[in-house]
Amino acid sequence: MKGLVLPAGAHHVLCLGAHPDDIEIGCGATLLTLAGRPDTRFTAMVLTGDGERQQESTQALQQFAPGTESHFAGLRDGRLPVLWEEVKDALEALGRECRPDLVLAPRPDDAHQDHRLVGQLASTVWRDAPILHYEIPKWDGDLGSPQQYVPVSEGIARRKVELLNKYFPSQADRDWWDDEMFLGLMRLRGMECRSRYAEAYYCSKMVLRLAQDRG
């Protein structure tokens, strides 16, 4: 199994989430790994959430990716499809200022309607950036067969779970929220890419640029 390597140098990573905690659940270990690279900067946009939930995400993102510039649209949770125009306007406004090297967004076929819309619109706003769509486990049972993997160390995997528990106390009483679920999915994805732990992604389109033979 061959892997692609993110080149050295400065990179701008944009993270999109429908709800506070989407980004951290879907790609938290990837952010922790990227944050260890010099000259990487982060921007995040969350479409719903205010008050306590917004504060949770703001604080969490600073731990996962220090220095993250966070934006919140404050739209109504669970109703993003009927707020299509507001969602599109919020993303387009950010897109005029933010031209990232990599976008991390929800899956465009996610079973949750809010996740799905954000994932679908990401590619209409950031047409020239590579977009990796993260997965969010849920009772709908919509996990699929990912094409891309980011192996992470055991320390990073456990740090992700520690931060989720610390910074999202409002979610702790949900029946699906526990260490076994978060670590179990990362362990499964790690097995699939011959690593101990990993986060997995989906990509609908990618350009492979081949170096010219100068011989």
| CA–centroid distance for 193 within its chain | 19
What is the model's pLDDT at position 86?
A: 98
Name the nearest CA neighbour of 56 among 171, 183, 181, 156.
Answer: 171
CB-CB contact of 153 with 132 (8 Å): no
Kindly report, residue by residue over 3-49, the tens digit of the pLDDT: 666 777 779 999 999 999 999 999 999 999 999 988 899 999 999 99
How far is 116 from 77, CA to CA, in rounded Å? 13
Please list the alpha-helical segments (H only) found in 98-201: 113-125, 154-167, 179-192
Residue 40, CB-side half-sphere exposure with 13 Å CA sphere? 20
Residue 138 lies in a domain: yes
Query: In the 8-state DSSP scheme, what is residue 21?
Result: T
Residue 134, pLDDT above cutoff 60: yes
Q: How confident is the model at residue 208 (pLDDT cuts 50, 70, 90)?
A: confident
CATH number at residue 163: 3.40.50.10320
Residue 101 lies in a domain: yes
User: In this structure, what token pair is assigned to residue 80?
Assistant: 């993003």
Residue 119 lies in a domain: yes
Domain that holds residue 117: 11-202
Q: How confident is the model at residue 200 (pLDDT cuts 50, 70, 90)?
A: very high
User: In this structure, what token pair is assigned to residue 172?
Assistant: 């702790």
Residue 66 lies in a domain: yes
Residue 213 lies in a domain: no
Residue 174 lies in a domain: yes
Backbone angles phi, psi at 44, to 5 degrees: -135, 140
Residue 123 lies in a domain: yes
pTM, full prediction: 0.93
Kindly report, residue by residue over 154-163, the tens digit of the pLDDT: 999 999 999 9
Kindly report, residue by residue over 55-64, the tens digit of the pLDDT: 999 999 999 9
Residue 90 lies in a domain: yes
Backbone angles phi, psi at 41, to 5 degrees: -120, 155
User: Could you tell me which residues come within 8 angstroms of residue 73 by beta carbon, excluding any fewer than 6 positions away?
Assistant: 45, 46, 47, 48, 86, 87, 90
* Domains identified in the chain, total number: 1
Name the nearest CA neighbour of 27 among 80, 1, 77, 64.
Answer: 64
In angstroms, what CA-CA distances link 128 with 122, 124, 144? 11, 10, 26
